[in-house]
Amino acid sequence: MSERDYYEVLSVDRGAGEGEIKSAYRKLAMKFHPDRNPGDSSAEDKFKEATEAYEILKDPEKRQRYDQFGHAAFNGQGGGGGFQSGFGGFDINEALRSFMRDFGGGGGGFQDMFGGGRARSNRGEDLRIRMSLTLEEIAMGVTKQLKVNRLGACQSCSGSGAAAGTSAETCRQCGGAGQVRTVTRTFIGSIQQVRPCPECQGSGKTITSPCPECHGEGRAKISTDTEVEIPAGVSEGNYLTVEGKGNFGPHSGTPGDLQVVIEEKEHDHFVRQGDDIIYQKMISFATAALGTKLEVPTLRGSETIKIPAGVQSGKAIKLRGEGIPHLRSYGRGDQIVLITVWTPTKLSSADKKLLEQLEQSESFQPPKHNKSFLQKLRESLGV
Ligand SMILES: [Zn+2]
Ligand SMILES: [Zn+2]
């Protein structure tokens, strides 16, 4: 993004009105328009810079933000509408589009004007499927076989779209290029326009006798098995792209991609928090008082943990490295075992007698205050 002052770029003063800004920009845009300065990258930069300044200053809201905060108002958010292409402000195509929007004099027809060199339009569609994984699968990484229903090459014509015994011919209108160039005259001179060939819809080929199975499109519904390797550590919403496994392109075009979107299945007794796994372990108050060793499940099997005598409810015991592997770095999260002391809800009369006896014991009396609890509470409340 330009660091020069936008008013300076357009050579207008800070109080300039809308009309003044527009005409200042128009003058610069005409002077530096790439069609008038072919191959001149400094003219291209000036054109982009002027367009960027104009896009901000013509919009009262953006202009106000710019007046108040300068370039910082748009840093890190790509300058708002239409500038998302990042790296060094916006690219020349975007600048040209934005110029044509206000000065092209035409409607939507001009939108695609500067898409020169675009790929042919016979690329197949991308497909998106969801894949549900258990926490165990996420922890280990997993290879899955997927059945994907998609459009593949038509078997009768092997994707060409031409009936048996005939073949597709090179399109006469575009000579097989799949796109046509037209020249439009505007007030800044002639502008070259590239669009998919209307005769062959961008495929570069015409079919005189279409395949009866696919009606000349060259595609048919198929189901394919695709193997997908999921690395350990993925999360809900992550996706991976399998190139070329989307729909086949019409008329032997390029296939689209397959996007696999990860979903996380709810686990019966683990809850994921980032790359940590939380597990609640309930113990009786007798166990809490006496202490013991016991086994808890982990994502990879089980671990023995030591419950110290006199443990309090709410104690967290950390099993290092028993969580989910970090996706983008080494190491793993932890498993946190939350100890909860279970209070019985049904008592036999014998139980009751025993407890009433214990209740008399001095060691069963809780302290009046719990300093460490109060300290933790203060910390968590920030007081
Ligand atoms: Zn054509
Ligand atoms: Zn066919």
Task: Note whether 143 and 248 are same-domain residues.
Answer: yes
Is position 305 within any domain?
A: yes
CATH number of the domain residue 57 falls in: 1.10.287.110
Q: How far is the CA of 368 from the centre of ligand 2 (A)?
A: 84
pLDDT band at 90 (very low <50, low <70, confident <90, very high): low
Task: Note whether 171 and 204 are same-domain residues.
Answer: yes
Higher pLDDT pick, 118 / 373: 373
Q: What is the DSSP string of 46-102?
A: HHHHHHHHHHHHTSHHHHHHHHHHGGGGTTTTTTSTT-TT-SSSS-HHHHHHHHHHH
pLDDT of 118 > 70? The answer is no
Percent of the chain with pLDDT over 90: 45
Task: Note whether 275 and 372 are same-domain residues.
Answer: yes
Encode pLDDT of 181-194 as tens digits.
877 777 777 777 78
Is position 1 within any domain?
A: no
Note the ligand closest to the C-alpha atom of 175.
Answer: 1
Higher pLDDT pick, 175 / 86: 175
Task: Note whether 251 and 353 are same-domain residues.
Answer: no
pLDDT band at 2 (very low <50, low <70, confident <90, very high): low
pLDDT of 105 > 80? The answer is no
Task: Note whether 286 and 224 are same-domain residues.
Answer: no
Q: In 3D, which of 141, 144, 133, 154 has the Cα closest to residue 226?
A: 144
Is position 217 within any domain?
A: yes
Is position 235 within any domain?
A: yes
Task: Note whether 297 and 372 are same-domain residues.
Answer: yes
Note the ligand closest to the C-alpha atom of 215.
Answer: 2
Is position 312 within any domain?
A: yes
Q: How far is the CA of 250 from the centre of ligand 2 (A)?
A: 10
Task: Note whether 179 and 221 are same-domain residues.
Answer: yes
Q: What is the pLDDT of residue 115?
A: 34
Is position 116 within any domain?
A: no
339: β partners: 281
Q: What is the pLDDT of residue 78?
A: 36
Q: How far is the CA of 249 from the centre of ligand 2 (A)?
A: 13
Q: How far is the CA of 206 from the centre of ligand 1 (A)?
A: 7
Q: How far is the CA of 166 from the centre of ligand 2 (A)?
A: 12
Question: Mean of the per-residue pLDDT values for the chain?
Answer: 84
Q: How far apart are the first and last CA of the chain?
A: 44
Is position 196 within any domain?
A: yes
Q: What is the pLDDT of residue 284?
A: 95
Q: How far is the CA of 180 from the centre of ligand 1 (A)?
A: 8
- Coil, strand, or helix at residue 271? strand
Phi then psi for residue 235, to 5 deg, are -130, 165
Domain stop point among 45, 80, 110: 110
Q: Which helix (H) or strand (E) holds 360?
A: helix 349-360
Task: Note whether 324 and 363 are same-domain residues.
Answer: yes
According to DSSP, residue 357 is labeled H
Tokens for 318? 């950390």
pLDDT of 279 > 60? The answer is yes
Cα separation, 14 vs 7, whole angstroms: 6
Cα separation, 330 vs 328, whole angstroms: 7
Q: Which one of 69-78, 116-125, 343-352 scores highest in mean pLDDT?
A: 343-352
Task: Note whether 63 and 134 are same-domain residues.
Answer: no
Tokens for 141? 């990484």
Least confident of 65-74, 125-134, 169-178, 223-232: 65-74
pLDDT band at 133 (very low <50, low <70, confident <90, very high): very high
Task: Note whether 299 and 351 are same-domain residues.
Answer: yes
Percent of the chain with pLDDT over 70: 89
Q: How far is the CA of 254 from the centre of ligand 2 (A)?
A: 16
Least confident of 52-61, 106-115, 174-183, 245-254: 106-115
Q: In 3D, which of 191, 183, 182, 184 has the Cα closest to residue 30?
A: 191
pLDDT of 120 > 50? The answer is no
Section 39-67 average pLDDT: 88
Is position 119 within any domain?
A: no
pLDDT of 82 > 70? The answer is no
- The answer to whether the CB of 189 falls within 8 A of the CB of 280 is no
Task: Note whether 91 and 153 are same-domain residues.
Answer: no
- Number of domains within the chain: 3
Q: How far is the CA of 155 from the centre of ligand 2 (A)?
A: 6
CATH number of the domain residue 177 falls in: 2.10.230.10
- Coil, strand, or helix at residue 173? coil
Domain range for residue 200?
127-262
Q: How far is the CA of 374 from the centre of ligand 1 (A)?
A: 78
Residue identified by tokens 């994907």 is 148
Encode pLDDT of 211-257 as tens digits.
999 988 889 999 999 999 999 999 998 888 898 999 998 877 789 99
Domain stop point among 224, 243, 262: 262
Note the ligand closest to the C-alpha atom of 201.
Answer: 1
Note the ligand closest to the C-alpha atom of 164.
Answer: 2
- Coil, strand, or helix at residue 4? coil
C-alpha of 196 from chain center: 29
CATH number of the domain residue 307 falls in: 2.60.260.20
* Strand-strand pairing, 205-206 and 219-230: unpaired
Task: Note whether 85 and 137 are same-domain residues.
Answer: no
Q: What is the pLDDT of residue 75?
A: 61
Domain stop point among 262, 289, 315: 262
